[in-house]
Chain A
């Protein structure tokens, strides 16, 4: 049960990263590699503030703002200086590496003895279970695990709801249209460049927020924690698309969250089944490949069946 709750909790936390990647990659078709740096940036800002006694909520919001600033830089590099998408992301990600070291003052900050959102989650879990631990269908469940899952689910639900409401406003619709049909949206007098900058701000803000939550959940921030995160974010978005199969905002957001949770569940199952550690990345790559190919194969089978 611990493994299940933990996989769900990390999946939900990283679904914020996936939502960020969804905005940059699916809305703007912008492979924004800044995410690798901004997730650590969020963790670094939150961890640094927490160790200085700042409230966890304030620290997490500051992490979101820091991520927005990183996205703003990438957006400006791309739209104002005409630097290639990939390169502008690489530049900001590279710069963030040094900035993160400066923010933390060292390469790793432990958060085990400071009050974090996990502390509140544990209190919430105690309130829910009545004790430090409880038994659910025979499985032992700790108050912290239960509380962390409930809190992260609540946070993700609220953020996904805000994102869905935003995508249904005029501004949100214009943002989605900027990615879908640039010429049309220009003809309507909307600045595509400004939309990209705004989109990257929100995207990296969400990614950094995910970093802040992950650091508080795991109990430390580390300068290397962002390595490869963009790949997992992209994988979750692709899996989410394969699950829901539609491009409507609500379904896409739901699919992205489900994709992230499913991805972490698969990793947890692989670990629980005693997978050779050397094969971990191969298995995840095969899983993402399957998510990419299966919908296409199913479509072909359906078409074939309909034709015959």
Chain B
């Protein structure tokens, strides 16, 4: 019995020691609390990410590019610290707390869970979100102008209307489209709902096949191709971005063209990409962050829905399917991948 008490006491001592270490690590925060009025010269920007996937890295690169384009210089005007929960939801709140106690002057969140945790736990620090399909659905506000006072950011939904109009104008034989989606990814589910509405308006039928993990994607892609579709219109998401090779391969085997929304997928074999991707929206989020850094109040900066697009065509992918892309379409492309002979 005495031994048990001794061991429990030892355990309590270990927990107390860990608490003390954490508290001492936080001394900076205690000192800073007394001198909040001191003007800031260099902003401490914390990038808070939920997971480590290609799209997040794209968005991150976009934010860094946007800060640079805004005339801000890394090391002089700001310093960046990246925190990533590595997919562990219970760590997300701790990341926000680590950023706040680490003296963050601004949080730039990537993903819906990190935005939601910031909304709950970082109410005194400006928050700029990106890599989110709908800031409003995530709880950032009631409307684009009536939102949490410390929060602004950029939502991104795929350019469905633009892509469907392009398909209708250039490929009139395509009526039935197919896409894979992951029911667990909020961004993909919102993209699916948006595509559904756009497709109904434009007179397209869309077949959706779910895939939960990267290992499901090859089978799900094969199942999608068997649904008698005319083309693949792949909505963006973490899962399909990292496993796009399987989708492209299945489409190639079935001699079906692939349309997509992410630049990386044009390089990966999609024939036409109406890119409205995370890099661009990240860049745009950085413009909002720059406005805050220059003294604007985030409360007065409306939430934005990113609307820019850029057209990319992959001539090699078209040639592999014996499809000749209409010259006006190729001419209007911002970027062309593959040999141009016979297409311009």
Contact = CB atoms under 8 A, between A and B. Distances in A.
The bracket for how many chain A residues form the interface is: 35 or more
Interface string B1-39: 001100110111011001101110110011101100000
B8 A140 contact: no
A3 B98 contact: yes
A138 B33 contact: yes
Contacts of B30: 1, 137-139
A189 interface: no
Give the bracket for the number of chain B residues in contact with chain A.
35 or more
Contacts of B83: 271, 277
A14 interface: yes
17 contacts: A1-B30, A8-B19, A110-B139, A112-B120, A139-B26, A219-B119, A220-B138, A224-B89, A240-B11, A246-B4, A251-B7, A255-B8, A258-B15, A268-B22, A269-B25, A278-B86, A281-B86
Interface of A: 1-4, 6-8, 10, 14, 97, 101, 106-108, 110-113, 118, 135, 137-140, 214, 217-220, 222-229, 232, 240, 243-246, 248, 250-251, 254-255, 258, 261-262, 264-269, 271-274, 277-278, 280-281
A232 B90 contact: yes
B33 A139 contact: yes
Interface in B99-140: 100-102, 112-113, 116-117, 119-121, 137-139
Nearest to B123: A142
A108 B97 contact: no
A268 B91 CA distance: 9
Given A3-B94, A3-B98, A277-B84, A227 B89 contact: yes
Q: Taking chain B's interface residues, is the majority helix, strand, or loop, or is none over half, making it mixed?
A: helix
B189 interface: yes
Contact of B116 (A219, A262, A267): A219
Given A108-B138, A218-B116, A267-B91, A243 B22 contact: no
Contacts of A271: 83, 91, 94-95, 98
**Considering residues B12, B18, B117, B119, which has the most beta carbons from chain A within 10 angstroms of its beta carbon?**
B18
B327 interface: no
Nearest to A210: B90
Interface stretch (B178-186, B253-261, B307-315): B178-186
A235 to B, nearest CB: 12
B70 interface: no
Contact of A229 (B3, B90, B185): B90
A3 B112 contact: no
A270 to B, nearest CB: 9
Nearest to B100: A2
B52 interface: yes
B67 interface: no
Which 6 residue pairs spanning A and B have beta carbons closest together?
Answer: A110-B139, A243-B11, A277-B84, A219-B120, A225-B89, A271-B98
